[in-house]
A and B are shown apart, each in its own frame.
Chain A
């Protein structure tokens, strides 16, 4: 089915209900167009067309079925972004299995715990994670590992190339028709940051995922070259960026490593990028650093002021210097789609002056993930856009609640949390906001304790507090984000500690702080950069508490 786009009269959007239909549709419609490109360490560009992408998916799917994979099985994927990540995902979901998307930035033990909790018996992984996951094979928690890069040397580990070859030979002989998969079949299990110590496993159905990306394409037109360095284990990277680009037949450039994100951004010359505020700020800082080094910062600031004034007076903003700067710093980039956290109004406006449109969106894993987004032809800076057409949105005491086909099926193996989160189909987001007279949504804060960073990552303070409480000298601890700038998500992770008076007897404040800092440093060493505690402060008094002896978070910050 095709429906008319919100954006342009001649822009239509294809709709699919299941992944087999989706793959058949994109192969038939876009065939020999380039679908997916990436760069090797030596900067060589590799490309797959839509036909090659879907054919390789069919080969791998056949290889998996031949190995005895049964529809409905859970298959975990644990790897840096890569073409094989995407093909493995598509192969798994298009034969009616469930892809478990594992967060690669977790510690070794959490990764193993995530795989075990998901009940995945088959595991796709890159060699980075092999030593972490081999114990799962030895203990029988996982039955088989498919290695996405490098030769396999261990028993029970099969290289992905063997499955491709096996599947390809069988498909060449007698291709299997597209599998019959139900709309309600769970397609993805994605982990949330969670507000408790364990992250929750969100189940998203075939229909739910596809409905979400089809709905979003009604509001947003991509251009032809799309760049994405968002991790695929998040619904934003996987659904909103990867699958959405394929739905539209555009050319997706992927980046497998944050270290080469800037390099690949320049090499791929995109016109569209899906990203988080952290990356937008990095591009912005890099641009200003270059200008400052050239001694032109003051001149540019003045020009920006003039351009801003012209915009306020509705005069055309056309300055050759700004165009040259955009070309040099941003190349062919014309559209930035930003989500995951709040992007400052100043930054959005500055990019607009340079000729780059910034569309802010809002999503949450439980909603597959998009809830609202601005449109190319109806963009209100400061808002997170219009709610998707098939989502009902209501504000319950200021809290954003949504209901619709892309809302999750529930949390895997957690009926209690599911019942708490879903009430008559309505999902409570925990975000506070309001809508204006045109229906645009604005977010004002959070009801839950999650700390949200500029890179879109979220962390529950309880997780870190649990780790810090294990330090013998800590009697009470509270972790929170200290404002580091003008916005709520521009934060420094801070631990406020009330030390155990008995253990601190005879020690000066300086000695206590030094000891605690050493212990915190030890904990930091096993955490990804964004989760590391940046500030430690000591309290002289216990924290104020509620009647049930919980620390009153907002009284104590």
Chain B
């Protein structure tokens, strides 16, 4: 899953070196629009919808993995 997330973030933002603890805003210096684009790429990949207000709670890569796991997406 981490590899998939690394690929998605690289494709959208060009950023590399992503770990479970990477914080989108503090570590990658992404703005709200970048974060939304990444979430949109996750939505497309998993064919799901992540409500915008729930995106506020996804700060780190591990939050995204937990969120997707809760929705039943554990495998790429």
Report B32 CB to chain A, min CB distance, Å.
Answer: 4
* Alpha-carbon distance between A138 and B52 when the two chains are bound, in angstroms: 26
Interface string of A74-86 (1 = CB under 8 A from B): 0000001000000
Contact mask A273-285 → B, CB, 8 Å, 1/0? 0000011001001
| Interface presence of A530 (CB below 8 A) | yes
Instruction: Establish whether residues A261 and B36, one from each chain, have CB atoms under 8 Å apart when the complex forms.
Output: yes
Return A484 CB to nearest CB of chain B, in Å.
7
Stretch from B1-9, B23-31, B67-75 forming part of the interface with A: B23-31
Q: Could you tell me the distance in whole angstroms from the C-beta of B33 to the nearest C-beta in chain A?
A: 5
Name the prevailing secondary structure of the A interface residues: helix
Question: Within the complex, what minimum Cβ distance (angstroms) separates A237 from chain B?
Answer: 15
Q: Does A183 contact B (CB under 8 A)?
A: no
| Bound Cα distance from A285 to B15, whole angstroms | 12
Per the 8 Å Cβ criterion, residues 280-294 of A in contact with B are 282, 285, 289, 292
Interface positions of B from 1 to 50, Cβ below 8 Å from A: 13-14, 25-26, 29, 31-37, 39-40, 43, 49-50
**A5 within 8 Å of B (CB atoms):** no
Interface residues of B: mostly helix, strand, loop or mixed?
Answer: helix
Known: A292-B14, A484-B29. A259 touches B52 (CB 8 A): yes
Residue of A nearest to B41 (CB): A259
In the bound complex, do residue A530 and residue B32 qualify as a contact, i.e. CB atoms below 8 Å apart?
yes
Give the size of the chain A interface in residues (CB under 8 angstroms). Answer: 31
Interface size class of B (residues with CB under 8 A): 20 to 34
Is the CB–CB distance between B59 and A258 below 8 Å? no
0/1 string, A245-267, CB within 8 A of B gives 1: 00000000000011111110000
| Distance A526 CA – B39 CA, assembled complex (angstroms) | 18
Q: Which residue of A lies closest to B30 (CB)?
A: A529
Query: Does A258 contact B14, Cβ atoms closer than 8 Å?
Result: no
Q: Is the CB of A80 within 8 A of B52?
A: yes
Q: Are B35 and A529 in contact (CB under 8 A)?
A: yes
Does the CB pair A527–B53 fall under 8 Å? no
| Cβ-defined contact, A527 with B56, below 8 A | yes
From B37, which residue of chain A is reached at the shortest CB distance? A262
Interface string of A521-557 (1 = CB under 8 A from B): 1001111111010110000000000000000000000
B51 near A128 with CB under 8 A, answer yes
- Chain B residues with Cβ below 8 Å from A278 are 31-33
In the complex, which residue of chain A has the Cβ closest to the Cβ of B52?
A257
**Cβ of A468 to closest chain B Cβ, rounded Å:** 16
A289-B14, A521-B59, A525-B57 are contacts. A260–B31 as well, Cβ < 8 Å? no
Query: Interface 1/0s, chain A 457-499, versus B by CB < 8 A?
Result: 0000000000000000000000000001000000010000000
CB of A555 to closest CB in B, whole Å: 27
Highest count of chain A CB atoms <10 Å: which of B40, B55, B56, B57:
B56
Residues on A with C-beta less than 8 A from B53 are: 128
Report the bound CA distance from A528 to B13 in whole Å: 20
Q: Given the complex, which residues of A lie within 8 Å of B36, measured CB to CB? A: 257-259, 261
Report B-chain residues with C-beta under 8 Å of the C-beta of A454: 31
State the CA gap A532–B26 with chains docked (Å).
10
Q: Which residues of B contact A526 (CB under 8 A)?
A: 56
Are B59 and A525 in contact (CB-based, < 8 A)? yes
Contacts of A455 in B (CB 8 A): 31-33
CA distance A389 to B10 in the complex (A): 48
A-B contact pairs, 29 of them (CB 8 A): A41-B49, A80-B52, A128-B51, A257-B36, A257-B52, A258-B32, A258-B33, A258-B52, A259-B36, A259-B39, A259-B40, A259-B43, A259-B52, A261-B36, A262-B37, A279-B33, A282-B33, A282-B37, A292-B14, A455-B32, A455-B33, A524-B59, A525-B56, A528-B32, A529-B31, A529-B32, A529-B35, A529-B55, A532-B25
Q: Which residues of B contact A (CB under 8 A)?
A: 13-14, 25-26, 29, 31-37, 39-40, 43, 49-53, 55-57, 59
